[in-house]
Amino acid sequence: MAEQNANGKDFNKENSDNKLEYEKLIENQEKTPKPNRDRIIIFSTLIAIIVLTVVIILTLLFFGKSYNITINYTIDKKEDVVEPFNKIKVELVGTNTYEATFPLNEPVQLKSIEEGTYNLNILAVDDNNIAYYYYHESNLFINEDKTFDNITLKKDPLIYSISSRWENNKLYITLPVGYEKYLVYRKNLDGKFELFQSNNQNIIVLDSIPSQGIELKFAVIKDGRMLDFSDSQVFQMNSNPSKPIVLSPTNNQILTENRVYFVWQAEDPDGDSLTFDLYLKSGSEPEKLIASNITNYFYEYDKLEPAKEYELSIVAKDGKGGESTSKIRFSTVSAPAEKIYLYSPSGPMGVTIYDVTNPNNPKEIAVINTSGNVTDVVKNENYLYILKFNEGIDIADVSNPSSPSVIGRMDLKGANGVKIANGYLYIKFTNENVGVYSLKENPAKPQFLGYTDIRFYGSIEPEIRYVKEQEDIKIDIIKGEYPVRINISNRVFITEFSVVVPNEEMKRVVDNSFARIFDTLRLVLSTYSVEDFKKANITDELEGKMMVALNELLGTNEKNGIKQVKIDISKVE
């Protein structure tokens, strides 16, 4: 039986009708067009694009701003130097890195620089990217368009320590160490310095210096940047000194003593200061260096040996590798056998001289004939003082004992005793007086000083209670015309240079200081010009200066040292 609903309708029939109505609805819907859905998809896509564009714009506006930079610069260029830089390189290093090159003498413009902090480098470079002039600024903050004016590109300064030396006519120039490149710039005919050499080592070798010389500047490169130039320096082709002219001893001279003063002259055509090495060779023995790097033109040597032949070499050096040498030969005489002589007073027969070198075989070699009765003799150096009783003293020269000669006579009545001590001659008289005579100035002419009471007999050195003060002693340093060079072109001709000292002790000091005294004269003369020697009182002035200088040299004063200086000048040329 069919089911029914509350209204009495058939339930199954109603369900069937509802199903048919749903299927029809679905069928109608599938057949309907889809314009509304497409419009929705398009609309949604447009909205997404708009939102993305807005986001990009906002990002660019607030997070990606960029700016332009303009740089106006000048270059502090060395006008006397030719340098090959040909463009400007700009580096901006920081938030991002920007690098660009620009032609010279045009403004520099950098575009689209992001906001941030940068280090700015501006460099004038060549094709090898070497920077000749440069500018640097750190921590530059960019947050707007900027223009930089008054920027000057410069070189960093450097204090150069430069030395040079000559070896075999090659010039070695030493520059500071620790750099990548060493540049040598040479001055050209236009007066500008241009690149001459580029080296990786700090020692520059030049072997083709023109005769007129060469003017150079130097520069160094470090971290790709050239530092400032050195001052210019002129280097002349070095010339060797002239060969020394040996003044003493002369070639083939025969010397009689073991001491010699080597004296020479030399000049340098470049005006360089000279030093000297002295070598001495004896026979087949090796050459020996006896003095090195001396600056004066004298040298005292006291080790010559008798009966030898010598060769002296004097080497003049100019300190730049230039040298010249002169050689001379000389010899020394054989040392004679030491002779011993006896001078015997022989009464009215005078004085008999015996050679007693061999005491077992004495030989009479000479007789000194005198008047009167010879009772005593005393000897001082090459002089014999012959006492003639109650008559006086005869003076004989016995420098050659085989041929003595009487050269003087002292008539002294009552003389009956004679002694010599410390350069004084003591003559005793019959009245017990003792006369004192100085032999220091001239032994051939004893100088009477006075009488004194002394203990005469039995005393080798009598005790003197009173003696007249001794006289000063004159010492000749130069006697005869001698040229002294005062500069490279001029000489002063000295005819006399002597000093006066108060005693024998000071005389020995002067004798042992000959070379230093002569060198002091040369030094004092070198402080004068040729015109100075035309002054009327020039010799007085020189003598005063020399007396002060010599006393300073010897550590003395005018009382106990050099008391007087005498200088005579014949000419200056």
Two structure tokens written together for 171: 């010039």
- Top-level CATH class of 341-452? mainly beta
CATH code for the domain defined by 245-332 = 2.60.40.10
Digit-by-digit pLDDT tens for the chain (573 residues) are 444 444 444 545 555 555 566 566 555 555 545 566 677 788 788 888 888 877 666 655 555 578 999 999 999 999 999 999 999 999 999 988 999 999 998 889 999 999 999 999 999 999 999 999 999 999 999 999 999 998 999 999 999 999 988 777 788 999 999 999 999 999 999 999 999 999 999 999 988 788 778 999 999 999 999 999 999 999 887 788 999 999 999 999 999 889 999 999 999 988 889 999 999 999 889 999 999 999 999 999 999 999 999 999 999 998 877 899 999 999 999 876 678 899 999 999 999 999 998 888 889 999 999 988 999 999 999 999 999 988 889 999 999 999 999 999 888 888 888 998 888 888 888 877 888 888 988 899 888 887 776 655 444 444 555 444 456 788 988 888 889 888 888 999 999 999 999 877 788 889 888 889 988 998 999 999 999 999 888 999 999 999 999 999 999 998 889 999 999 999 998
List the end-to-end C-alpha distance of the chain, in Å, as a whole number: 172
Q: pLDDT value at position 10?
A: 53
Paired tokens of 56: 């990009």
Residue 554 to residue 406: CA distance in whole angstroms: 40
Superfamily of domain 163-235: Immunoglobulins (2.60.40.10)
The interaxial angle of helices 504-511 and 514-526, nearest 10 deg, is 70
Write down the domain spans for the chain. Answer: 12-63, 67-153, 163-235, 245-332, 341-452, 473-572
Q: Looking up tokens 């045009």, which residue turns up?
A: 106
Equal fold, 67-153 vs 245-332: yes
Looking at residue 523, its amino acid is L
Residue the block writes with tokens 């060198």: 519
Neighbours of 183 (CB within 10 A): 21
| DSSP E strand boundaries for 369-414 | 374-380, 383-388, 392-397, 405-411
Q: What is the pLDDT of residue 33?
A: 53
Q: What CATH superfamily is the domain 473-572?
A: Band 7 domain (3.30.479.30)
pTM, entire model: 0.43
- Evaluate the omega torsion of the peptide bond into residue 249 and state whether it is cis, within 30 degrees of 0: yes
Query: What are the residues whose beta carbons fall under 8 Å from the beta carbon of 193, sequence distance 6 or more?
Result: 80, 81, 82, 185, 186, 187, 215, 216, 217, 229, 232
**What local confidence, expressed as pLDDT, does residue 3 receive?**
44
**Cis status of the peptide bond prior to 336, with omega within 30 of 0:** no
Fold of 67-153: Immunoglobulin-like (2.60.40)
Rounded Cα gap, residues 92 and 113, in angstroms: 9
Q: Of 252, 244, 227, which is closest to residue 279 (Cα–Cα)?
A: 244
